Chains A and B, each alone.
Chain A
Amino acid sequence: DAEITQSPRHKITETGRQVTLACHQTWNHNNMFWYRQDLGHGLRLIHYSYGVQDTNKGEVSDGYSVSRSNTEDLPLTLESAASSQTSVYFCASSERGLPFAQYFGPGTRLTVL
């Protein structure tokens, strides 16, 4: 069955370190998204991609970057982790067009000490 996976599921890191969160989907979806979820803020879009070599900033993109070298993967990199980036991170993917829902990965809980 097609799926979307994230790794690691839990990560503890220190302030200033570079961290990369992996997202892999086997749906063959063109669209991929990264969100963060914090208490009191719901889900906020970090970056998104509509296809290979395409990346776009979301509403909370500062301190994060993504790259899309193939259809299946959209890794999220925190260039220099900050305590404010402690959060739960969700990756999602979808087909193009309105009727199609985004399907979410299981999430990665990141703690920056």
Chain B
Amino acid sequence: AQKITQTQPGMFVQEKEAVTLDCTYDTSDPSYGLFWYKQPSSGEMIFLIYQGSYDQQNATEGRYSLNFQKARKSANLVISASQLGDSAMYFCAMRAKAAGNKLTFGGGTRVLVKP
């Protein structure tokens, strides 16, 4: 079975600073993908970034980067130069190849960016 754990229920970050959101996962499947989604107060789920288990480099997408530590089974999201619009709920999710195309979500971390 797959499991995703996000241990930070909420956090504050100062505008223009970087913030790291923790995500640990558990799977016995060697082939899997990790995804991060953003859910602003308006409610929609927005895909941010993807990391594959066989990817040699950490994924980056603009101000988002993924600190992937395979041996520790962690896939932390780093948001650089935080903006007020980054205030949202952030979800880590995993899809293991053996589980088909289903995603397993963590409980989420709420980020509030302070001006």
Contact = CB atoms under 8 A, between A and B. Distances in A.
Interface stretch (A11-19, A40-48, A75-83): A40-48
Contacts of A31: 101
B63 to A, nearest CB: 18
Given A88-B43, A104-B44, A94 B35 contact: no
Given A98-B31, A101-B35, A101-B50, A58 B102 contact: yes
B45 A94 contact: no
A103 B108 contact: no
B45 A104 contact: yes
A27 interface: no
Contact of B50 (A42, A99, A107): A99
A64 interface: no
Given A42-B91, A42-B107, A43-B91, A33 B102 contact: yes
B70 interface: no
A72 B78 CA distance: 35
B43 A94 contact: no
A41 B103 CA distance: 15
Interface string A18-31: 00000000000001
A102 interface: yes
Interface of A: 31, 33, 41-45, 48, 50, 58, 88, 90, 92, 94, 96-99, 101-104, 106-107
13 contacts: A33-B103, A42-B108, A43-B91, A43-B105, A44-B105, A58-B102, A90-B45, A96-B101, A98-B52, A104-B37, A104-B45, A104-B46, A107-B45
Closest 7 CB pairs of A and B: A104-B45, A101-B47, A98-B33, A43-B105, A42-B107, A31-B101, A42-B105
